[in-house]
């Protein structure tokens, strides 16, 4: 068993991939808590897809892909926030417009580049191909995202649970939303290295959704989301190595299987708890 775990790590690309997976897992899962609690899964998906034009422009000009994606994602996030700022246009409508437009732009640019193969790792991820400089970029993004969340967690929580109260004490819910969108864009970019544009949302939503089934405490959600995410990233990576399957697909599938397992276990516990509660009530009424 130990050999089975250690053997892949003898390859430097696997060590880098594992480190990248853990960093991406922690980053996306911690932000995912707010994505789930604020019901922003669609927005996360949209931002992931809209990084495509930025990635293509950066690739064609031999710039850093990471920065191309970051700028594209931030422009999208702020654009959606601006379009839906005064509720004349609903946020999901604004997302639909910007998301499809930007993704279409990316597809057109890819077709102009006349090489779909070069962009396949952007669409579906390739954590096994992470380079040293990618790893540094992911590390910086992770520190920024997790550090920001840690620093403003009480404000983020308040603007989520009661934006009106936040507003009355001078804490702008709108500005907190923009901040969340910007760090969401950063986390998405980190996720793209691992599982690609198409599946990044899964890294944010699935572990946090599973965590929400396990606990009803915010801190507990952060912890469980992180554990489940790192676990599924590692399982997916090893599965990819031993079964020679797509790393991005394997990681997301591992996330989904873990979510399924958590769902079944929590349902069974809930049903068992309800039965015991019913029996206690019946026993109590008989005694009386």
Interface residue list for other proteins (CB under 8 A): 37, 86-88, 151-152, 154-155, 157-158, 160-162, 164-165, 167-172, 212, 215-218, 220-221
Cβ closest to other proteins, residue 217 vs residue 269: 217
Q: Which among 193, 98, 57 has a CA at the least distance from the CA of 137?
A: 193
User: Are 194 and 248 within 8 A, CB to CB?
Assistant: yes
Q: Which is nearer to other proteins, 120 or 174 (CB)?
A: 174
- 162 or 279: CB nearest other proteins: 162
Q: Which is nearer to other proteins, 62 or 88 (CB)?
A: 88
The candidate with the shortest Cα–Cα distance to 190, out of 45, 40, 48, 74, is: 48
Q: How many CB atoms lie within 10 A of CB 10?
A: 8
Q: How far is the CB of 281 from other proteins (least distance, A)?
A: 18
CA-closest candidate to residue 103, choices 79, 72, 148: 72
Q: Given the complex with other proteins, which of 147 and 260 has the nearer CB atom? A: 147
CB of 225 to other proteins, least distance (A): 11
- 125, 195 in Cβ contact below 8 A? yes
User: What are the DSSP calls for 132-195, one per residue?
Assistant: HHHHHHHHHHHHHHHHHHHHTHHHHHHHHH-HHHHHHTT--HHHHHHHHHHHHHHHHHHHHHHH
């Amino acid at each position: 068993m130990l050999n089975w775990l250690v053997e892949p790590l003898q390859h430097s690309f696997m060590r880098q991939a594992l480190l990248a997976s853990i960093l991406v897992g922690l980053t996306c899962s911690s932000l995912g808590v707010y994505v789930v609690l604020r019901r922003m899964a669609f927005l996360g998906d949209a931002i992931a897809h809209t990084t495509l034009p930025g990635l293509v422009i950066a690739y064609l000009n031999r710039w850093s892909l990471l920065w191309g994606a970051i700028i594209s994602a931030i422009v999208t996030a702020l654009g959606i926030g601006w379009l839906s700022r005064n509720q004349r246009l609903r946020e999901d409508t604004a997302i639909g417009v910007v998301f499809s437009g930007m993704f279409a732009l990316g597809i057109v640019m890819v077709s102009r580049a006349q090489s779909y193969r070069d962009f396949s790792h952007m669409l579906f991820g390739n954590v096994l191909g992470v380079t040293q400089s990618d790893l540094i970029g992911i590390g910086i993004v992770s520190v920024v995202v997790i550090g920001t969340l840690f620093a403003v967690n009480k404000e983020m929580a308040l603007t989520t649970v009661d934006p009106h109260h936040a507003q009355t004490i001078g804490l702008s819910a709108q500005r907190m939303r923009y901040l969340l969108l910007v760090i969401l864009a950063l986390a998405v970019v980190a996720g793209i290295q691992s599982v690609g544009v198409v599946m990044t949302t899964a890294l944010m939503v699935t572990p946090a959704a599973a965590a929400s089934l396990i606990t009803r405490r915010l801190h507990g959600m952060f912890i469980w989301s992180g554990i489940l995410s790192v676990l599924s990233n590692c399982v997916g990576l090893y599965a990819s190595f031993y079964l020679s399957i797509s790393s991005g697909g394997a990681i997301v599938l591992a996330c989904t299987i873990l979510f399924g397992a958590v769902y079944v276990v929590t349902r069974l516990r809930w049903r068992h708890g309800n039965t015991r509660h019913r029996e206690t009530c019946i026993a109590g009424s008989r005694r009386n």
